[in-house]
């Protein structure tokens, strides 16, 4: 399963309005609710799980990348939303630099290997400078999704 498989065009936010990592996480969770990936009644519980994980250790991994993630029994399949912040967000990143690309993903509870594999695949892809640059320069969500899909297939 690649990033191109789990991410759908309707779950890409090319211009996050968030001012910090917490707002970005909420914005991406709302995107998953709007697209039907998360049931509205589970929104707050899922947000709490992601926040708890993020509070234990920031997922700002450097290079302008944030990968908030969590496992929950409130979803049936891996779900993801991707956002871009043109001005950058304070994510308490390892390199103390602002985060411009935020990849939120959720994995069903108990699927530890899938969780680790998904996280590793996303991190590997986002560590490619040319890939990040293409995403930062893409004009809209459709173009961003095409970049993600095309590059995921190469992994």
The pLDDT tens digits for 102-134 are 999 999 998 878 767 777 888 788 889 999 999
Q: Quick one: pLDDT at residue 111?
A: 81
Percent of the chain's residues with pLDDT above 70: 97
The confidence band for 11, taking pLDDT boundaries of 50, 70 and 90, is: very high
For the full predicted model, state whether its pTM sits above 0.85: yes
pLDDT at 153: 67
Q: Is 69 in the active site? A: yes
Domains of the chain: 3-150 (3.40.930.10)
The pLDDT assigned to 72 comes to: 94
Task: State the pLDDT at residue 113.
Answer: 81
Measure the CA–CA gap between 10 and 106, rounded to whole angstroms: 16
| Catalytic residue, candidates 69, 80, 107, 151 | 69
For 40-98, how does the pLDDT look when each residue is reduced to its tens digit (9 = 90+)?
Answer: 999 999 999 999 999 998 889 889 999 999 999 999 988 999 999 999 999 998 899 99
Measured CA to CA, the distance from residue 100 to residue 151 in angstroms comes to 19
Mean pLDDT score of the chain: 91
């Amino acid at each position: 399963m690649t990033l191109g498989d789990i991410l759908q065009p309707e779950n890409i936010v090319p211009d996050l309005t968030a001012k910090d990592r917490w707002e970005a996480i909420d914005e991406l969770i709302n995107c998953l609710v709007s697209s039907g990936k998360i049931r509205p009644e589970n929104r707050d519980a899922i947000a709490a799980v992601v926040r708890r994980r993020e509070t234990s250790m920031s997922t700002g991994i450097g290079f302008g990348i944030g990968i908030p993630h969590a496992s929950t029994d409130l979803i049936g399949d891996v779900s993801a939303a991707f956002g871009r912040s043109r001005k950058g967000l304070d994510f308490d990143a390892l390199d103390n630099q602002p985060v411009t690309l935020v990849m939120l993903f959720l994995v069903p509870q108990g699927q530890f290997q899938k969780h680790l594999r998904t996280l590793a695949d996303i991190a590997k892809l986002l560590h490619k400078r040319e890939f990040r640059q293409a995403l930062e320069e893409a004009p809209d969500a459709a173009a961003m999704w095409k970049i993600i899909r095309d590059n995921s297939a190469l992994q």
